[in-house]
């Protein structure tokens, strides 16, 4: 049986050469060496958390999106997100931290180790993809700013800039888009801040310049284009829960046994599979059960959905 967790695949194996050599922030010392002629996997050993399933194509990952700040259609983000200015970019880190402040994208990246993670991605709408992200563990950023005793949750916000994000001129979501994690979820090694896909800077429609990726939760938890991170002792408000609490819980762990009130979550449609492709079974915690089930020991997952 294919090992769902470990893989020898790296983005150099799945990426066309022109993309492979166009990456920017990924250039560590070893990567720089490789660009000078030493090929592939030696410098980009895939994470032990990577799946060996075949990644979706760049065009699929960047043309079928949810980013309501740019409209509600799946192709709206790729059409309109180019209007977003992503440089300069600052992230306010505040609340129960030792070093609160306004951190530039560059301040953060200078202190982080970027690696590739090929993760399953499962939207609450029951479509899914396999995405080769580049990014760093959120825990590294939280440790950089120093989480204080007593902090229990991490709250995130996307920017509000209606002049560049036309969807924000309509109020069907109370902007800013908000998300949150329990601190132990945020510190889990699977939880990452993504800054790239296929070794290229992350495109605007996928949440440039930095977005959360929590692979065992429904995709809406993976908030895009983050400008604020707050450590708190109270469970933060989250957008979809504010809009419709009976349908979208705070936890939103992928769970084939707990249906959405309006549709089954037992199976999913892999984007790019074609119209006749069979749906595939959805895995508990999106296939990351071994790694994360312990976080929820003793909790009723139907109640804390
Ligand atoms: N983040 C913001 N700021 N705005 C959004 O509308 N949509 C969410 C999530 N993050 C969303 C967001 C939803 S519903 C999903 S499924 C994923 O982003 C989609 O990520 P992708 O477009 O990169 O596949």
10: CB partners within 8 A, 6+ apart: 40, 41, 44, 45, 46, 116
Q: Is residue 119 part of a domain?
A: yes
Q: Is residue 301 part of a domain?
A: no
Q: Which atom of ligand 1 is least distant from the CA of 177?
A: 3
Q: Is residue 303 part of a domain?
A: no
Which residue owns the Cα nearest ligand 1 atom 23?
206
Q: Given strand 153-158, what is the order of strands in its sheet?
A: 101-104, 90-95, 226-232, 153-158, 178-182
Q: How far apart are CA 275 and CA 84, in angstroms?
A: 33
Q: Is residue 105 part of a domain?
A: yes
Ligand 1 close to Cβ of residue 204 (< 6 A): no
Residue ranges making up the domain that contains 137: 11-296
Query: For the segment 198-250, what is each residue's pLDDT rounded down to a tens digit?
Result: 999 999 999 999 999 999 999 999 999 999 999 999 999 999 999 999 999 99
Please choose, from the candidates 134, 140, 228, the residue with its C-alpha nearest in 3D space to the C-alpha of residue 178. 228
Which residue owns the Cα nearest ligand 1 atom 4?
67
CA triple 250-217-228, angle to 5 deg: 65
What pLDDT score was predicted for residue 43? Answer: 35
Ligand 1 close to Cβ of residue 218 (< 6 A): no
Q: Is residue 6 part of a domain?
A: no
Q: Is residue 213 part of a domain?
A: yes
Question: How does residue 24 score in pLDDT terms, banded at 50, 70 and 90?
Answer: very low
Q: How far apart are CA 159 and CA 89, in angstroms?
A: 10
Query: For the segment 38-81, what is each residue's pLDDT rounded down to a tens digit?
Result: 443 333 456 899 999 999 999 999 999 999 999 999 999 999 99
CATH number at residue 183: 3.90.420.10
Query: What is the arithmetic mean of pLDDT over 141-163?
Result: 98
Number of domains in the chain: 1
Which residue owns the Cα nearest ligand 1 atom 10?
223
Please choose, from the candidates 218, 223, 150, the residue with its C-alpha nearest in 3D space to the C-alpha of residue 183. 150
Beta strands in 17-114 (DSSP E): 90-95, 101-104
What integer best gives the mean pLDDT of the chain? 89
Ligand 1 close to Cβ of residue 238 (< 6 A): no
Q: Is residue 278 part of a domain?
A: yes
Contact (CB, 8 A) for 9 and 39: no
pTM for the model stands at: 0.88
Query: For the segment 168-210, what is each residue's pLDDT rounded down to a tens digit?
Result: 999 989 999 999 999 999 999 999 999 999 999 999 999 999 9
Ligand 1 close to Cβ of residue 223 (< 6 A): yes
Q: Which atom of ligand 1 is least distant from the CA of 207?
A: 23
Ligand 1 close to Cβ of residue 220 (< 6 A): yes
Which residue owns the Cα nearest ligand 1 atom 11?
67
Is pLDDT of 121 > 60? yes
Ligand 1 centroid distance, CA of 55 (Å) = 19
């Amino acid at each position: 049986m294919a090992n769902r967790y470990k893989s020898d695949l790296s983005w150099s194996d799945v990426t066309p050469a022109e993309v492979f050599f166009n990456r920017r922030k990924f250039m560590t010392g070893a990567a720089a060496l490789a660009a000078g002629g030493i090929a592939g996997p030696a410098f980009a050993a895939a994470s032990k958390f990577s799946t060996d399933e075949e990644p979706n194509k760049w065009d699929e990952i960047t043309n079928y999106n949810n980013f309501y700040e740019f409209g509600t259609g799946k192709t709206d983000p790729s059409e309109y997100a180019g209007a977003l200015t992503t440089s300069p970019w600052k992230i306010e880190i505040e609340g129960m931290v030792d070093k609160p402040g306004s951190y530039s994208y560059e301040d953060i990246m200078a202190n982080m180790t970027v690696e590739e993670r090929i993760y399953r991605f499962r939207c609450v709408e029951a479509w899914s993809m396999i995405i080769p992200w580049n990014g760093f563990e959120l825990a590294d950023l939280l440790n950089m700013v120093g989480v204080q005793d007593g902090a229990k949750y991490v709250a995130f916000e996307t920017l509000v800039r209606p002049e560049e994000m036309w969807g924000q001129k309509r109020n069907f979501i109370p902007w800013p888009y908000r998300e949150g994690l329990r601190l132990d979820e945020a510190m889990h090694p699977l939880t990452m801040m993504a800054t790239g896909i296929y070794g290229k800077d992350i495109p605007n429609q996928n949440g440039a310049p930095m977005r959360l990726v929590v692979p065992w939760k429904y995709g809406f938890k993976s908030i895009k284009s983050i400008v604020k991170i707050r450590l708190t002792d109270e469970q933060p408000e989250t957008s979809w829960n504010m809009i419709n609490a009976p349908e979208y819980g705070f936890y939103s762990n992928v769970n084939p046994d707990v249906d959405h009130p309006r549709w089954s979550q037992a199976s999913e449609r892999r984007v790019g599979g074609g119209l006749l492709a069979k749906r595939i079974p959805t895995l508990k915690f999106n296939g990351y059960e071994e790694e994360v089930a312990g976080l929820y020991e003793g909790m009723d997952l139907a109640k804390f959905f």
